[in-house]
């Protein structure tokens, strides 16, 4: 019988080296994790198989040699985590056409944050709106960012793609509701706990693909021989209860595009 061991840094990147070292010492047969976890695991072992799930470019960031021929002990799944800013901003604008200032909540520690911020800022500028950026690196800074958004009269919010934000999902959704900020998130889980809408790659599909790779490795295949998978499945989720609380009437064209409508 196969057994799994779960380790979480709870958004604290400084905990990852020790967690990775602990798994390598045990040892486990394969490590599966997001990119910060995979990078620390790779730095800890050159032999234990590692499967990552990543919303960026694993070649550029040094995880693999190439998509088709990863080499070494690492392979995984990539998805367009942050670089769908144009679509996310446009969908949010369709719901909140009166908003002249869009707030952008960005994880300062995320290795893909610079590219994501550039993508979002370009999208905001393209439709003629202003933006206010809140870069956060701790839980306390999340509250400070929302205070800044209120001071700058932001009328809507785009929350960046980040494991750190996912670990504080209920707090962020609650702060958006408290500040009456219609918000767009990258992961469907935010809409499921009360956020207005989410649009992005399907994380469940990405992790399903990672699970398939982990199983193949357990059966004897090598990470070096498994090409990096690029997922292309996107999901739009709209929460009508949240829209009603914000006084927003969701346009029929947005509802028609939704993969799921939460009532």
pLDDT at residue 57 is higher than 70: yes
Mean pLDDT along residues 29-38: 87
Dump the DSSP string for 104-115: EEEETT-TTHHH
Point out the least confidently predicted range of 106-120, 134-148, 218-232.
Answer: 106-120
* Cβ(185)–Cβ(37) below 8 Å: no
For residues 101 and 200, the model is more confident at 101
pTM of the model: 0.80
Mean pLDDT along residues 71-84: 82
pLDDT of residue 129: 96
Burial class (CB in 10 A: 0-12, 13-18, 19+), 180: exposed
pLDDT of residue 11: 62
Q: What is the pLDDT of residues 151-165, one digit of tens each?
A: 999 999 999 988 889
Any idea how long the chain is?
263
**36 CB neighbour count, 10 Å cutoff:** 20
pLDDT at residue 115 is higher than 70: yes
pLDDT of residue 169: 95
Of 187, 179, 111, 92, which is closest to residue 143 (Cα–Cα)?
179
Q: What is the pLDDT of residues 185-231, one digit of tens each?
A: 988 999 999 999 999 888 888 889 999 999 999 999 999 999 999 88
pLDDT at residue 9 is higher than 70: no
For residues 62 and 177, the model is more confident at 177
Question: Which domains can be identified in the chain, with CATH numbers?
Answer: 13-79+202-232 (3.40.50.2300), 85-201+235-262 (3.40.50.2300)
Dump the DSSP string for 164-228: HHHHTHHHHHHHHHHTT--EEESSHHHHHTT-SEEEEE-HHHHHHHHHHHHHHHHTT--GGGSPP
β-sheet bridge partners, residue 199: 236
pLDDT at residue 6 is higher than 80: no
pLDDT at residue 1 is higher than 70: no
Angstrom distance (rounded) from CA 86 to CA 223: 34
pLDDT at residue 82 is higher than 60: no
């Amino acid at each position: 019988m196969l057994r799994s061991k779960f380790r979480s840094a709870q958004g604290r990147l400084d905990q990852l080296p020790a967690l990775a070292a602990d798994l390598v010492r045990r040892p486990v047969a394969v490590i599966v994790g997001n990119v910060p976890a995979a990078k620390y695991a790779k730095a800890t072992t050159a032999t234990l198989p590692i499967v990552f799930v990543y919303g960026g470019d694993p070649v550029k960031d040094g995880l693999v040699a190439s998509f088709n021929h990863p080499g070494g002990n690492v392979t995984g799944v990539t998805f367009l985590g942050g670089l769908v800013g144009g679509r996310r901003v446009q969908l949010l604008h369709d719901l909140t056409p009166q908003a002249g200032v869009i707030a952008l909540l960005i994880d300062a520690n995320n290795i893909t944050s610079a590219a994501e911020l550039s993508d979002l800022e370009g999208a905001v500028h393209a439709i003629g709106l202003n933006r206010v950026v809140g870069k956060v690196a701790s839980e306390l800074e999340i509250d400070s960012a929302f205070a800044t958004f209120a001071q700058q009269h932001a009328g809507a919010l785009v929350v960046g793609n980040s494991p750190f934000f996912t670990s504080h999902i209920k707090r962020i959704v609650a702060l958006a509701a408290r500040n009456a900020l219609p918000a767009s998130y990258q992961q469907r889980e935010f809409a499921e706990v009360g956020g207005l809408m989410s649009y992005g790659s399907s994380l469940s599909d990405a992790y399903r693909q990672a699970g398939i790779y982990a199983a193949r490795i357990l059966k004897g295949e090598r990470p070096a021989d498994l090409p990096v998978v690029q997922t292309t499945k996107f999901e739009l989720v709209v929460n009508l209860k949240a829209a009603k609380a914000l006084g927003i009437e969701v346009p029929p064209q947005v509802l028609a595009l939704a993969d799921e409508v939460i009532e």
